[in-house]
Amino acid sequence: MIRKERAAYVDQELERLYPNPPIPLDHKDSYTLLVAVLLSAQCTDVRVNKTTPSLWALADNPFDMAKVAASRIENVVRPCGLAPRKAQAIHELSNILVENYDGEVPEGFDLLEALPGVGHKTASVVMAQAFGHPAFPVDTHIHRLAQRWGLTNGKNVFQTEKDLKKLFPEQRWNDLHLQIIYYGREHCTARGCDGTICPMCRTLYPQRKKAVATRK
């Protein structure tokens, strides 16, 4: 298969396996999604979903969160790791939302990325899942699978994002990035598959014998 043929197969198969994929992080609005995505950095969605109910009990909107000391936020989000940095970011961005945006999450990549603790991937998730704008958030898991499936040269997550956007129609980006995540968790895990084991890898590369080393 050439790259476009592999992409077409991936698109078709993931749509068959995971139609209308749900958003894995529990949230009720754009603010709680933003905070949940921020907490998910180097942490599992399962852990975040177990932690956020306690955080929302403390404050579930920027007006109330801005009044909570970062140290109190840190105590709640500690299970998610990197607690001091994440807590400070939540406290600071809540203040910024109140002061500059009337408590609303701004609808724009540049505006989101200017917030404390919000990088391109987090902004992409919020733009896609909260506002419905076409985006293709690429985390380390999508980066790994895209390499295993021969969809990118795999130099870094930014190159992978560019390659995936070129391969797939824009209207599929928002669902597809979730579908890849779900497939990766279920079939093509970091340790459970090395590029030669899961059904997708075997179909795309039936003659592959050696493990695929992920390029960072």
What average pLDDT values come out for the chain (216 residues) when binned by 10 residues? 97 98 97 98 96 98 98 98 98 98 98 98 98 95 96 91 97 97 96 96 96 86
Structure tokens at 211: 């493990």
Handedness of CA 136, 140, 143, 148 (dihedral sign): negative
Last residue of a domain, one of 108, 129, 150: 129
Cβ(164)–Cβ(147) below 8 Å: no
Domain membership flag for residue 209: no
The domain in which residue 9 lies consists of: 3-21+136-204
Residues 6+ apart with CB under 8 A from 55: 35, 73, 76, 77
Positive or negative torsion for Cα 77, 87, 23, 44: negative
Q: Of 64, 102, 139, 155, which is the active-site residue?
A: 139
Q: Among the three residues 111, 129, 147, which one is the final residue of a domain in this structure?
A: 129
Q: How many domains does the chain fold into? A: 2
User: Do the domain assignments include residue 212?
Assistant: no
Distance CA 216, CA 213 (A): 9
Residue 165 is among the residues annotated as catalytic for this protein:
no
* Residue 211 falls inside a structural domain: no
Q: What is the pTM of this model?
A: 0.94
Active site residue 139: yes
Active-site hit among 4, 45, 121, 166: 121
- Distance in angstroms (rounded) separating the CA atoms of residues 55 and 174: 27
